[in-house]
Amino acid sequence: MKKPTILHFITNVNIGGAERTLLRTIKHFDRDKFNHIVLTLLAKGSLWEQFKKEGIEIQSLNMKNHLDIFSLIRYIHVLRVKKPAIVVAYLFHALTFAVIGKILYPRSILVHYKRSVTFASRLRDKLNKLYTFFVDYLIGISKGVVASESKVKFHLGLNSFFVYNGIELPKIHKRPTSKVKTIIGTIARLRYQKGLTYLLEAAKDLKNKKLKIKFIIIGGGEQYSDLKRIIDESRLKDTVELKGEKINAENYLKMFDIFILPSIYEGFGNVFIEAMSYKIPVIGTNVSGINEIIKNNINGLLIKPKSPKAITEAIIKLIEDPGLRERLGREGRKTVKKNFIIQKTVNELESIFSKILAKQRNFRLTKGIWERII
């Protein structure tokens, strides 16, 4: 029996949460069950060769600009040639193409794999509501993400599901620690959503308190220039290092004594479980997604968003209490081991794909019977 093809359609494979998660997940799928193909809307990205190295078929539509109609023609061609049973769309631009593809080539089941409670734009959120009419199933990366979608169209367990991201639990070697300064780090796409301007305000306050600390920020994005300007204007160069985008960000993660990401909103917050897996104590905001990972004072600290004061207080609390740092780090790794292991994610996704295809087969069988009766 021919294996069903699942087409994973994503905007690009540059370094980012969605892209890294797709790579991590797809290489663990049982290839005897499904034929997995990755399709990118934009040209080859930073992770392209890593997909190839894992033996994963990956293609690109090489879209040049928003008016590139030929990329849409190429997408329809891919659908006709590969005949995917399921198209899984990640991120907004890929979802847009996938919806058009659903209209022009309705044979494939369209699954929206949603990663955030909002697309960070009123226009995109409105378009997403329109796209809902063409999406067959929804998979959210947290309960909060699923709850943010239409309650009329999507019903949990029937045509919507939540599946937490998973990671490979790393072996822990003795982490290098700074003998002079406490290293406080974050890894994120540099955009307003991540709340990093509030982190810099807290860094300024902590510097004034003469604490021996060093902030390291890893990531690229549209806010890079603004953050660099704030660091320069606030005379934080000796306190905050803006490292830019790093393909080996995990190597920096191992250096951190404390991890913090003060997001204004999140879908999940994959980098928290990555930090927790190394027994690094974490500080996150009490927003949807993050609060499904962190339980305050149990496996990390939760603070209110948009609050430099809350950031400052949480960092001081951990600096002044090494025992608390150790306990939160230990409990954090236990949490990852219990709830956020990659094989758990893969098993749940494969079960969902099988359930979707079985339902489709039953529908076609029933439809065929009724047509013969009539």
Q: Are residues 267 and 278 in the same domain?
A: yes
Q: Can you give the pTM of this predicted structure?
A: 0.90
How many residues comprise the chain? 374
**CA-to-CA dists, residue 214 to 257, 299, 347, angstroms:** 10, 23, 40
Whole-number Å distance between alpha carbons of 165 and 174: 26
Residue 175 included in any domain: no
Q: What is the pLDDT of residues 302-331, one digit of tens each?
A: 999 999 999 999 999 999 999 999 999 999
Contact call for residues 55 and 36 (beta carbons, < 8 A): no
Quick one: DSSP state of residue 210? T
Q: What per-residue confidence (pLDDT) applies to 48?
A: 95
Q: Are residues 211 and 270 in the same domain?
A: yes
Q: Are residues 355 and 262 in the same domain?
A: no
Residue 40 included in any domain: yes
Q: Are residues 97 and 216 in the same domain?
A: no
Q: Are residues 30 and 158 in the same domain?
A: yes
Going by pLDDT thresholds of 50, 70 and 90, the confidence category of residue 368 is very low
Q: Are residues 115 and 230 in the same domain?
A: no
Residue 226 included in any domain: yes
Q: What is the pLDDT of residues 36-54, one digit of tens each?
A: 999 999 998 889 999 999 9
- Tell me the residue range of the domain where 246 lies: 182-339
Residue 177 included in any domain: no
- Where is average pLDDT lowest: 14-28, 149-163, 200-214, 276-290? 149-163
Q: Are residues 150 and 65 in the same domain?
A: yes
CATH code (residue 98) = 3.40.50.2000
Three-class DSSP category at 37 = strand
CB neighbour list of residue 75: distance below 8 Å, 6 or more residues apart: 39, 61, 97, 100, 101
Whole-number Å distance between alpha carbons of 239 and 291: 29
Number of domains making up the chain: 2
Q: Are residues 140 and 188 in the same domain?
A: no
Residue 287 included in any domain: yes
- How many CB atoms neighbour CB 58 within 10 A? 22
**CA-to-CA dists, residue 118 to 101, 115, 156, 264, 291, angstroms:** 23, 9, 19, 11, 17
Residue 68 included in any domain: yes
Q: Are residues 229 and 100 in the same domain?
A: no
- Residue 177 scores a pLDDT above 70: no
Q: What is the pLDDT of residues 161-170, one digit of tens each?
A: 999 999 999 9
Q: Are residues 186 and 327 in the same domain?
A: yes
Q: Are residues 159 and 11 in the same domain?
A: yes
Residue 73 included in any domain: yes
Residue 176 included in any domain: no
Q: Are residues 309 and 322 in the same domain?
A: yes
